[in-house]
Amino acid sequence: MKTFPRLLPRWRHLLQVALTAGLLAAHGAQAKTIDFSASLATPVVQAGKAQSAFLKVALTGFELASQGDRPLANVAIVIDKSGSMSGERIERAKEAAAMAVNGLGSNDIVAILAFDNTVDVVVPATKVSDKNRITQAIYNIQVAGGTGLFAGVSKGAAEVHKFLDKTRVNRVILLSDGQANIGPSSPAELGQLGAMLARQGISVTTIGLGTSYNEDLMTQLAANSDGNHAFVENSRDLVRIFQREFGDVGSVVAQEVELTIRLKHGVRPVRILGREGEITNGVVRLRMNQLYSQQEKYVVLEVEVPAGKAGAQMDLAAVDVSYLNMHSKSKDNLSRAVAVSFSASTEAVAQATDKKVMESAVQQVSNEMGKEALRLRDSGKVEEAKQVMEANSNYLKKQATTLGSAFAPAPALAAMETESRRQAQGLESKDNAEWNVSRKKMKEDQFKLEKQQR
């Protein structure tokens, strides 16, 4: 009996330790972080000479366990109601917007805007507590006037700003079928607007309807804000496009994603593929607004590796990523180190090749060639454009064979080769209407590959 009082505090202490450990373990089991990899396409390179290599930094969003895990939305839907939207187009646009609103939760926030010469705030930013009122306001939108696209996006962003919250998905969704003809209207000006909104944590998704909109303007606005882009040739597809877009809104798992790649030992950066970024004194910095559940987004950095001795290994880069975890509502920081080895054996170099990383690099190199062909075609240099696309097709065919199995070429690259040859034929079209459609499809495909858009 005399020993019991002395033992009791000890048992209490042990119990507290056990409970604390259990709580920490439970917290750890529930904690979700993104998958993060930094890999060389050729982790073993030929000794004795300087050469280029591809470094892929990939981020994959974690799985959302349930609908209750999805982040809250803060969205402005901005609809073009200029005269060209009359008839089926505006009716399909209303239907798609109403469907999107009905899919939101009562704690989500939505604003509805419509623009022609001026901008009407049809529904100011509000919680989605009265869906009937919001959808009725959508169906009351009437067409008239010109296309003040810049003002429409700016006013939509102002509505998002009313409830701007880094733990929400803050987005402007723009639907337009025409050329911006009121206010700032160049791709550069809209691109600057997109970049400014990205710095504020707002992305802009652009949906181009029909064949009269400016695809350069729409893709640049989306790209600079890290939003999505879609070319919708037929208005009957708008509901499907809105469903996909709002599926993305509900699956964001990380925001404010910042990547830093610090190159070492005289490794020289050559170019960034798949993302816009800055290179300063061997340090590469990139930013992504958002990352989606179970989706990989990546950047490929081409570097020049200095000559090394056979059997040696060299640290190539240190890679850091920070992001706002939408599940834990806290900042996560992750790091990876990348090294390269040197060998005198060409067989060892080939066997060590990471085919998945190399395939991503090939896709991005091919995409750059496609963009160059489009620039040449726009300058009237049709034959030069066709030559670039022919070289692109041959490059894809060779890489598909190299990276495929003994029985079949790499499927994704083989499909890109087929599409590249089809696009090469489209470059020589003398029918302006036909080329207009082909060009919009090329821009959309290039955008989706570059940004890894679903």
CB atoms within 10 A of CB 277: 17
> In which residue are the tokens 């850091």 written?
320
Region of 88 (left: φ > 0; alpha: ψ -120 to 50; beta: rest) is alpha
Tell me, yes or no, whether 213 and 76 share the same domain: yes
Look at residue 66 in the predicted model and tell me its pLDDT: 65
Q: What would the two tokens of residue 449 be?
A: 């590959």
Q: 295 near 301, Cβ under 8 Å?
A: no
| Helix-strand-coil split of the chain, %, nearest 5 | 45, 30, 25
Q: Which of 206, 230, 250 is the last residue of a domain?
A: 250
Residues 54 and 76 in one domain: no
Indicate whether 236 and 146 sit together in one domain.
yes
Mean pLDDT of 283-298: 94
pTM: 0.88
Share of the chain above pLDDT 70, in %: 92
Task: Report the pLDDT value the prediction gives residue 13, as an integer from 0 to 100.
Answer: 44
Q: What angle do CA 442, 446, 450 make, to 5 degrees?
A: 175
pLDDT the model gives residue 67? 62
101 & 213 share domain? yes
Q: What is the pLDDT of residue 146?
A: 86
* 213 and 115 assigned to the same domain: yes
- In which band, very low, low, confident or very high, does the pLDDT at 4 lie, cut at 50, 70 and 90? very low
Q: Which range, of 179-188, 336-345, 399-408, averages the lowest pLDDT?
A: 179-188
Average pLDDT, the chain: 91
Helix ranges restricted to H, 146-201: 149-161, 187-199
Question: What pLDDT does 29 receive?
Answer: 47
- For residue 201, pLDDT over 50 is answered with yes
* Rounded mean pLDDT, 412-440: 93
Task: Using pLDDT thresholds of 50, 70 and 90, give the confidence band for residue 15.
Answer: very low
If one compares 1 and 429, the residue with the highest pLDDT of the two is 429
pLDDT score, position 434: 92
Q: Are both 245 and 257 inside the same structural domain?
A: no
Residue-wise pLDDT tens digits, 173-190: 999 998 888 878 788 999
One DSSP character per residue, 323-352 reads EEETTTTEEEEEEEEEEEEEES-HHHHHHH
Same domain? 244 vs 376: no
Rounded mean pLDDT of 318-327?
96
Report the C-alpha gap between 257 and 201 in whole angstroms: 11
DSSP one-letter code for 293: B
